[in-house]
Amino acid sequence: MSRLTARFWVDAYLARLRFQDIPAFVTAHGDDTAGAVLVKLNTLDGQARAYQRSFDLMTGDRKWVELVAGADGEVEASIAKQRQFDSDLWVIEVEDRQGRHLLDEPGLD
C-alpha cells in the first residue's frame, strides 16, 4: 500500500479546514516526503491539545491520539520537546473555539 507524502497530506488537511472556515497554520515545516505530523488545537481560551498519528499494531489502522492537553504554554513546551527529537516534524496549529480539528473525519487517518 502506498502512502501519501507528508506535504500532500498537510496540504489536503489545510484545504479541508479552510472549507469549514477553521483557521490553521503550519508553524513548523517538516520533511516534505516522510515527516511526521503533529496537530495542535488551540481553543483560544488559554487551553490547547496536541494530537499525533498512531499506528495500531493489532489492527494495522492509523488513528489520531491525544499527545498532551492543558494550558497553551504547557502544550507548546511539549511540542518544542518533540521538535528537539524530530527535526522533520510538521506542526499544524488549528484555532477553533468550538474545538473542531476534523481529525476524526474519514480520509484523515
Tens-place pLDDT, residues 5-41: 999 999 999 999 999 999 999 999 999 998 899 999 9
Confidence of residue 2 (pLDDT cuts 50, 70, 90): low
CB 68, CB 55: distance < 8 Å:
no
Closest CA to 94 of 34, 30, 21, 33: 21
Tens-place pLDDT, residues 47-104: 999 999 998 778 877 889 999 999 999 999 999 999 999 999 999 999 999 999 999 9
How far from 91 is each of 2, 39, 58, 59, CA to CA, in Å? 23, 6, 27, 27
